[in-house]
Structure 1
Amino acid sequence: MVKMPSLLEALEQKYGESSTESEGSEEEEGISIAIFVPQKPPRMIVPSLLVLNDCDIASAGDHQALVDKCAGVEELDLAKNKLQRWPEVFGILKQMPRLKFVNLSFNKLSSSIHEVELSQDYQWQNLRNLVMNSTHVPWENVQRILDHLPSLEELHLSLNEYDHVNLCSSTCQCVLENGSEDDGAKGDATVKCTCPRLDYKNKHKHAGIKKVHFNGNPISRWSEICKIGYAFPSLESLVVADCPIQSLDIENEESNAVNNPDYMRTESECESGNKAESPHDSFRKLKFLNLNSTNISTWDDIERLSRFPVLHCLRVQGCRLWESHEYTEHERRQLLIARLPNVETLNGGGNIEPDEREDAERAFIRYYMDKPESDRPERYFELVAIHGKLDPLVNVDLRPEKRVKVTFTCGNNSEVRSVDVYRTVSDLKTKLEGFAGFSAPNMRLFYVDQELRDRQGPEEMRYPHKQLYSYNIRSGDEIIIDYKLKNKREK
């Protein structure tokens, strides 16, 4: 069996054993410590930003040696290693008290955390950003860890196979239907919860967290997403892209629970009768929301987003609502802007200017004014109260007439003919060979605009592949046919 390296061994391999253990003697052969770390102790050789991705690290190594070398580390990236046991993770983090950023993504950290492994008194006071994507860390572990991070502002929990958000108490004994203990990430398995009634709306333990990334988790119910808001009441930014969220309609979720005999409550509901009163009840401070690539499929859900108290930046691309291709990209943007008076930035674009918003709202009114009143959303009547009832737009066809009547003149002969304006000059010459009495290669054409005849004179139609409509030809204009004199140098 191949022995996995410790963090200490990975450090020595990357930065060199001599550079981490030397006392900095200038007389020692082959050592040039003064070039890299002049007048600094050897432990400062390890940079404040320490990246050890994909190094097969499975353990911490000697703790005292880590203290000597890593006490100054502020950002630590250990993604894609072989860490599995939380004591080893804590053994690493405890030696780096100045940490501000930690990335543990793609390490298999699904084992439970026991109280003996993490003293309640230990705190990482400086840690602001924690990334645990695709670690399958159980919700219970997340709550335990957050209790030791009083300054945390940003949390990444993407790709962890969460199908619910577990805010149960630590005494909860949630059990899967097959009898095995739930580890917090069991996909679609149904759960029987035996914990006492818990009002998770008032369980505000992590008020410092402002950003949560929750991409790619198989959660389909918005009521579960709402629990993230209750857990983090200061939340300003939430990313739930690539989650199969069906709707923001919590009331229908509740009715489904009553009327659908196949509906099973998830673990995190905990027999609590206190449901969110609205989709935005727990998101009082949310400013940015990313709903890209979700299963939202109705305009009603878009209108629910308009009621989020301070939401002003929204991403909602790749949703089922757009799969019908009923709208052009421009129409889709207009309908979104008109329905979302609170949103200032949409799908990563610049700020929505007042002129664009007014145009969108007027287009929205005209879009629904010809539809039955029962099909008009509430927003339609709100906008009519602002802009009034609008006259329908005149349908002006700006395309050129397909055929026009033009006078053709060749010498003393004149004839009025109907001409297809999408024909090219070369095609027209070929058609005029019989009338002119000579071949197209020997023909020159001159266009005469009936209104500019006296001021401008004839314009030679010298480009064979140019279509006639590009000359703005109209009925009543004239085309003069002339014989092309051969170049005198031609033999």
Structure 2
Amino acid sequence: MTTSASDKQKSTEPVTKTENSETVTKYSRLPETKNSPVRRNNRRPQKSFQGSNVSGPIFQYFMTGDDAQVATTPTKKRPSLGSLSDVGSSFDGELPEQSPRKMTICEAIDEKFSPVNYSACSFTSIGLSPVKHDKDGTVRVPWTLVLEDRNIAFAGDSDTLCKYCGNVRDLDLSHNDLQSWSEIVKILKEMPHLEQLNLGQNKRLSLSYDFSTLVQSQYTNGEQSKAEKPLSNDSPSTESCPGSEVNDPQTEHDVQKKPPVSLPLTLPSAEGLRGHRDDFVHTSLKTLVLINTGAPMDTIAQMLPRLPSLEELHLSLNGYKQIENSVMKIVEPHSRVKTLYFTDNHFSDWRDFAKLGHIFPKTKNLYLACNQLPCIDISFEGVFTSLESLHLGGNKLDSWDCLDRLNELQSLKSLRIHDIPFYANYDPDPTIRRSLCIARLKNVSHLNGSAVSPDNRIDAERFLIRHYLDHHPKPQRYFELVDKYGQLEKLGEVDLSPIEQICLQLHCSEMEICKEIQVKPSITVLQLKTCVSEIIGIGLKDFNLFYKDAMMEEAFGPVGCFSELKLMSIQLSTAGLCDQSELHARTISRHHNAQRQPSR
């Protein structure tokens, strides 16, 4: 029986029927071909888990390639994403089929933890998704959530965001396109347990944000806050997140009935903010990363009182040139920040360093590498009284006196000063430079990452005294160390390098020869005797070679001070010959040789 091509095609198409208002897809057996594997079982492919209407589709399985040709449950494709001219699109050398559209956090979670991105039909389920879906409709995502480079522009609906990420502790939103600080406020409001937040590379956060308008919105009749101005027409509505169509009529009725109240618009303190239910104060956040965002200092100054538990702040690569006086008028000292990163900015005045000490008085670790700070021209008295670690590498420190200024930081224990100008203009020996740095920094226990032991400090301080004996003017640290160790003299120079050549005095009374010869102390006695044989013109077996031993001369006088060189294989240095030693060659008489010959 023959089958046409159209019949073969119909045999592989899915057959769909409706059972209890649910769509079920059945598959017929695939024909066996040379290029396609044969499915040996008739198991129906498993359906992906469907979430509730409030939280959107949360899929239970990851998908991966396998030899079974199983089609996944048909999913709704995304609409057209527009052209490359849309905001947020990128071009990496190849023209993409569709430019990425702006997303919310909930949409990014659905995309990451669901198999909608897999268009091939040869997939099988291999494991459970880390996203959990409770019976009450609450979605549980992992405590550590990484959504890096997902083209996220908006926080999304508040209720949906709270259901998805209410228990998140560590959130990475770097390399996204968050539109404004109002989105950050919404994220922090709906994630009360958040401890670490990474917002690096979100360039739109360079726009200033006035937090006082956030407080104003608490006393108005429900109008939109002026601080949350939409930047484009892509701002999401309540329909942007799956299942976000939740309206509370009672709430809307209460808002309409609430009368407007005219109050002065002043920025309250953190204690005052805690008294209002909807005011932005986040008491759990400990680490905030704003690297390469260009976040304005006035916005950060307004945000600090609302983050009372903040301990680590990253503000590197933001192009800061100075801290304006207007910022110092509105900022409140934050005593909980312990680690502060300000690397790769453009600070060129040490007065900004003092301003940082006023804003963050209890900082223990400060990173100011790769700025443009020159020679220290201010006093550090009363600044950064708790500072223990300081990184100044890559700045323009051009004088050794800068190290004396750093001694005013009484609690400083660790210092890094790589790639600074006064290193390049000094002795290239790193040991000398390190010793001088240790001696000048009286409180430092770690220099450039290496520990400074008590013995290292004593040697370095004594070295500084001897080093500046012939140098003028002398630093103040020199006189302090002289009072500690006394006036030291220079050490004697001892040359321990190996001797390349020695000079020997050769004497031969029979041949009336007295001559100086230059030899290497590493040659053997046999080589020396060969050289002497060529000089006196006598064969090796016709003379004996003696050297004058100074120690033997003291013990036995000039007659018994000669020792014969009998071992031909040892070196001259081992035999006891040194520079200016005397050699004596004595010929062997023929009569003596005849007596030594055995009788026949």
- TM-score, structure 2 as length reference: 0.58
Query: Judging changes above 3 Å, is the alpha-carbon distance between structure 1 residues 36 and 110 closer, same or farther for their aligned structure 2 residues?
Result: closer
Query: Judging changes above 3 Å, is the alpha-carbon distance between structure 1 residues 473 and 292 closer, same or farther for their aligned structure 2 residues?
Result: farther
2:310 is aligned with 1:152: yes
Equivalent runs, 1:105-254 vs 2, <5 Å: 105-108=200-203, 109-115=205-211, 118-119=214-215, 121-168=279-326, 204-250=332-378
Tell me which amino acid in the other structure corresponds to 2:292.
S
Equivalent runs, 1:327-346 vs 2, <5 Å: 327-346=428-447
Equivalent runs, 1:36-51 vs 2, <5 Å: 45-51=140-146
Structure 2 stretches lacking a partner, 5+ long: 1-82, 84-98, 117-123, 216-272, 274-278, 538-544, 553-561, 585-600
Aligned to 1:160, the other structure's residue is in SS state coil
Return the alpha-carbon distance in structure 1 between the equivalents of residues 133 and 582 of structure 2.
88
Comparing 226-235 with 448-457, greater Cα deviation is found at 448-457
2:417 is aligned with 1:316: yes
Aligned to 1:405, the other structure's residue is in SS state strand
Equivalent runs, 1:324-473 vs 2, <5 Å: 324-350=425-451, 352-372=452-472, 375-406=473-504, 418-419=517-518, 421=520, 432=531, 458=567, 460=569
Return the alpha-carbon distance in structure 1 between the equivalents of residues 195 and 374 of structure 2.
36
Query: Judging changes above 3 Å, is the alpha-carbon distance between structure 1 residues 122 and 479 closer, same or farther for their aligned structure 2 residues?
Result: farther
Query: Judging changes above 3 Å, is the alpha-carbon distance between structure 1 residues 327 and 94 closer, same or farther for their aligned structure 2 residues?
Result: same
2:177 is aligned with 1:82: yes
User: Residue 174 of structure 2 contacts residue 201 of structure 2 at CA under 8 Å; is this kept in 1?
Assistant: yes
2:578 is aligned with 1:474: yes
Comparing 318-327 with 284-293, greater Cα deviation is found at 318-327
2:102 is aligned with 1:14: no
TM-fit CA distance, 1:470: 10
TM-fit CA distance, 1:84: 3.2
Query: Judging changes above 3 Å, is the alpha-carbon distance between structure 1 residues 447 and 299 closer, same or farther for their aligned structure 2 residues?
Result: farther
User: Residue 185 of structure 2 contacts residue 280 of structure 2 at CA under 8 Å; is this kept in 1?
Assistant: no
User: Residue 407 of structure 2 contacts residue 443 of structure 2 at CA under 8 Å; is this kept in 1?
Assistant: yes
TM-fit CA distance, 1:95: 2.0
Aligned to 2:163, the other structure's residue is in SS state helix
Tell me which amino acid in the other structure corresponds to 2:567.
P
Return the alpha-carbon distance in structure 2 between the equivalents of residues 379 and 478 of structure 1.
54
1:429-476 superposed Cα distances (whole Å, 9 cap, x missing partner): 9x9596699xxxxxxxx99996899899737369xxxxx989996226
Match of 1:279 in 2: 380
What percent identity do the matched residue pairs reach? Answer: 32
User: Residue 369 of structure 2 contacts residue 395 of structure 2 at CA under 8 Å; is this kept in 1?
Assistant: yes
User: Residue 448 of structure 1 contacts residue 457 of structure 1 at CA under 8 Å; is this kept in 2?
Assistant: no
TM-fit CA distance, 1:123: 1.1
Return the alpha-carbon distance in structure 1 between the equivalents of residues 485 and 281 of structure 2.
57
Match of 1:4 in 2: 102
Match of 1:73 in 2: 168
Aligned to 1:94, the other structure's residue is in SS state helix
Match of 1:307 in 2: 408
Tell me which amino acid in the other structure corresponds to 2:338.
K
User: Residue 421 of structure 1 contacts residue 473 of structure 1 at CA under 8 Å; is this kept in 2?
Assistant: no
Query: Judging changes above 3 Å, is the alpha-carbon distance between structure 1 residues 63 and 328 closer, same or farther for their aligned structure 2 residues?
Result: same
Query: Judging changes above 3 Å, is the alpha-carbon distance between structure 1 residues 112 and 402 closer, same or farther for their aligned structure 2 residues?
Result: same
User: Residue 499 of structure 2 contacts residue 521 of structure 2 at CA under 8 Å; is this kept in 1?
Assistant: no
Return the alpha-carbon distance in structure 2 between the equivalents of residues 167 and 345 of structure 1.
35
Match of 1:261 in 2: none
Tell me which amino acid in the other structure corresponds to 1:475.
D
1:17-74 superposed Cα distances (whole Å, 9 cap, x missing partner): 79xxxxxxxxxx9696599869998856521111122222222233322211211111
User: Residue 546 of structure 2 contacts residue 565 of structure 2 at CA under 8 Å; is this kept in 1?
Assistant: no
Return the alpha-carbon distance in structure 2 between the equivalents of residues 96 and 448 of structure 1.
93
Equivalent runs, 1:261-272 vs 2, <5 Å: none
Which is greater in Rg? 2
1:240-280 superposed Cα distances (whole Å, 9 cap, x missing partner): 00011002213xxxxxxxxxxxxxxxxxxxxxxxxxxx234
1:216-243 superposed Cα distances (whole Å, 9 cap, x missing partner): 1111110111100001111221110001
Return the alpha-carbon distance in structure 1 between the equivalents of residues 546 and 416 of structure 2.
53
2:397 is aligned with 1:296: yes
1:201-223 superposed Cα distances (whole Å, 9 cap, x missing partner): xx643121121110011111101
Tell me which amino acid in the other structure corresponds to 2:346.
P
TM-fit CA distance, 1:406: 4.2
Query: Judging changes above 3 Å, is the alpha-carbon distance between structure 1 residues 325 and 50 closer, same or farther for their aligned structure 2 residues?
Result: same
Return the alpha-carbon distance in structure 2 between the equivalents of residues 345 and 455 of structure 1.
59
Comparing 470-479 with 102-111, greater Cα deviation is found at 470-479
Query: Judging changes above 3 Å, is the alpha-carbon distance between structure 1 residues 151 and 469 closer, same or farther for their aligned structure 2 residues?
Result: farther
Return the alpha-carbon distance in structure 2 between the equivalents of residues 455 and 212 of structure 1.
77
Return the alpha-carbon distance in structure 2 between the equivalents of residues 102 and 241 of structure 1.
23
Indicate the RMSD between aligned Cα atoms, in angstroms.
4.0
TM-fit CA distance, 1:116: 6.7
Tell me which amino acid in the other structure corresponds to 2:211.
E
Aligned to 1:168, the other structure's residue is in SS state helix
Comparing 84-93 with 131-140, greater Cα deviation is found at 84-93
Tell me which amino acid in the other structure corresponds to 2:206.
S
1:368-424 superposed Cα distances (whole Å, 9 cap, x missing partner): 11224xx11111111111100112111122223443124799xx9999653354988
TM-fit CA distance, 1:89: 2.5
Tell me which amino acid in the other structure corresponds to 2:356.
I
Match of 1:484 in 2: none
Aligned to 1:220, the other structure's residue is in SS state coil
Aligned to 1:419, the other structure's residue is in SS state strand
